Structure 1
Amino acid sequence: MDYISDISLNSRLKNSDHDAFVFIYNSLAKELYYFVKKYIKDEAICDDIIHDSFLNLWNARERIQTTHPIRHYIFRITRNLVYKEIKKQISASIMLKVDATEHEQIEGGECVERTILDKEYANIYNLAINTLPPQRKRIFRMSREEGLTYKEIAGNLEISTQTVKEHMSLAMKSIKDYIAKEHDILLKTILILVFFNRI
């Protein structure tokens, strides 16, 4: 598994080395599948997400930074696909409850309801993050948005790994409490599923 973080592997993939890509797939596909299966129960959809994750990794190979572990790239891609699938399923559920005649169309053919839902997810997420103290907010964003490990965050901020863990634990509790108090169960579920899973 250490080999997955090796600079030479990143360079090989960046240079379209098919053997490096196969090695990454064989090393991480099973773990990714179990990660996806926690949130998506349909096995066919899980398989599609895994397939699309590796396809997206291959298509983005020229943009890979040699110093950034491949594991971070592929898990971030997969997490985003899981997020989109959950949003799609929730949106579909909402649509079933709304009479078809009330569906207004906007540019690009998207439904107004889905566009509003997407904006609300982002808005609530940012509001929740902004309730955190500055250092805790920075650590949370470094972990969840930049994909850094606790060890990497500790090194960048010159603090202990244990301190990072404590900040993350407090941050997640604060944000979950905020969402639970201020917003409905649907939004609480999607945000907790997507943003608080440790990768």
Structure 2
Amino acid sequence: MITESKNFLNNKLVRGDSETFEVLFKLYYTKLTLFSNRFVNDVSVSEEIVADVFTFLWENGHDVKFASSISSYLFKMVQNRSLNYLKHQKIENLYVTYLEKNNLLDEVRSTVESGYEEKELALQINAAINTLPQKCREIFVLSRFSDMKYKEIASQLNISPKTVERQVGIALEKLRQTLKHVSYMLFL
């Protein structure tokens, strides 16, 4: 069990001490996986999240400074990554719902048959949306996936409808540029 001081452990991780890393992994892997699973409710996804956290820790241990304890640092990282996963899933679900609601799912499937795998297309679209500036992305998602009118978005975000219109226009142009290799953009 790890009973050493936080500075000592931090120094060992900074130096890439594999034994210290292995002890941390064995001590926390199961606990962190169970913790992540409380958020994502999928054991395999939880295992991936925890593995990513440990990979990050191994690759970046030299840059990591533990503010309080290694335990709280690891749990906070797992929590953040689990919540990010849920946000990503929400966007994917909104996109599929939008396609279903507008009877575009069959058209997407035909696009998939002509060269793009459904998962790859969704990943490309999500990646493109995620490249938008935060406020622009938020406005675009509300506009396209929540079926809100510009006035409703403006009211919710406390901005003018003209700003919403401009931001949606900017988002569409950036997405067209980012996704210009995709021959048929259904949601634009």
TM-score (norm 2): 0.52
Instruction: Tell whether 2:71 aligns with 1:71.
Output: yes
Instruction: Tell whether 2:25 aligns with 1:25.
Output: yes
The aligned counterpart of 2:52 is: 52
Cα displacement (A) at 1:119: 5.8
Q: How is 1:31-46 mapped onto 2 (pairs within 5 angstroms)?
A: 31-46=31-46
Higher relative contact order (CA 8 A, sep 6+): 1
Percent of aligned pairs with the same amino acid: 19
- Using the alignment, how far apart are the partners of 1:44 and 1:20 within structure 2? 25
Q: 1:94 to 1:72 in 2, by over 3 A?
A: same
Aligned length in residues: 120
C-alpha contact 1:3 1:9 (8 A) present in aligned 2? no
Q: How is 1:10-159 mapped onto 2 (pairs within 5 angstroms)?
A: 10-65=10-65, 68-99=68-99, 110-111=128-129, 120=138
SS state at 2:16 partner: coil
Q: Which ranges in structure 2 are unaligned for 5 or more consecutive residues?
A: 108-123, 139-155, 158-188
- Using the alignment, how far apart are the partners of 1:85 and 1:18 within structure 2? 29
Q: 1:94 to 1:82 in 2, by over 3 A?
A: same
The aligned counterpart of 1:155 is: none
State the superposition RMSD in angstroms: 3.7
Q: Which amino acid aligns with 2:51?
A: H
C-alpha contact 1:56 1:77 (8 A) present in aligned 2? no
Cα displacement (A) at 1:25: 0.9
Structure 1 stretches of 4+ with a deviation exceeding 6 A read 114-118
- Using the alignment, how far apart are the partners of 2:3 and 2:12 within structure 1? 12
SS state at 1:12 partner: helix
TM-score (norm 1): 0.49
C-alpha contact 2:49 2:81 (8 A) present in aligned 1? yes
C-alpha contact 2:13 2:20 (8 A) present in aligned 1? yes
Q: 1:95 to 1:65 in 2, by over 3 A?
A: same
